Amino acid sequence: MELNYDALTAMRTSFNLKFKHAIESAETIYRDLAMIEGDPKHTAMEIPFLEAFAGMREWLGARQIKNLSTKKIRVVEKPWEDTVSIPVRDVESDNWNIYGTLISAMGEAGEQLWDRLFTEALVNPPKWIDGKAFYCDNRKYGASVISNVTTNALTHANFGAFFTQMQSFATHAGEPMNSRPTHLIVGPALEDAAREILYSDTITTDGVETANPHKDKVKLVVNPRLIGANANYWFLGRFQGSLRPILVLKNKDAT
């Protein structure tokens, strides 16, 4: 094949289609669980946060204006790349189609980058706006103390205890925070235990079989990236609604 504009354009078009199709068909978890923000015009974003959110109140007298400017979360874009070269001779001999599978794999990896970043933020998040670690057992919130961390293993009893605990979280005004968990995220090592908790019809305690009170309480997500040192980590959270535990700054798709 002669290395002219038309020939190289045909190759580029073919590769772009394979790459785009791989992105669209890639299996990910971040699309369903994360807040996704960002646009190509900005490299960073600041998110104002209501540290003392109390919700709606009856409107009596003057408005009570909440200050959005005191606490902000700043998320900064990072560049990512993955580059391969195709030998000129394979292009000249019209064998460039053999690289189509490789191009598709690169597209899939480009989309799964967001799952990687999602998991990194889930396992090792930065400090929260109050200067404390995101996961801690002594966060003051109004008159309440909130704990969102445990070293306990994933068991039927521990799942139930923390499911109930999360629903007891309240705002500064003492109103329910609406923090009922929606998802349980585990790695492959805990998949069987999680399925038994969420999908078994019955449980047996001291030889007595009863109905499983936790059946279908939340959705199960098996994250293949929770392996190695993170294999026994489990995350119970509210991963739906306008405010979610993880935000992904996605200014551009891979190309």
Which pLDDT does position 147 carry in this prediction? 92
Rounded to 5 degrees, what angle do the CA atoms 105, 35, 244 make?
Answer: 130
CA 151 → CA 99, 188, 195, 214, distances in Å?
Answer: 47, 19, 20, 21
Which pLDDT does position 230 carry in this prediction? 97
Tens of pLDDT along 159-209?
999 999 999 888 877 788 888 999 999 999 999 999 999 999 999 888 899
Alpha helix stretches (DSSP H) within the chain? 5-25, 30-33, 88-92, 100-123, 156-167, 191-199
d(CA 140, CA 146): 6
What single-letter DSSP state applies at residue 97?
G
Which pLDDT does position 165 carry in this prediction? 93
Residues of the chain with pLDDT > 90: what percent?
56
Between helix 100-123 and helix 5-25 the angle, nearest 10°, is 40
Answer whether residue 67 shows pLDDT above 90: no
Residue 61 one-letter amino acid: G
Which pLDDT does position 51 carry in this prediction? 63
Answer whether residue 64 shows pLDDT above 70: no
pTM across the whole model: 0.87
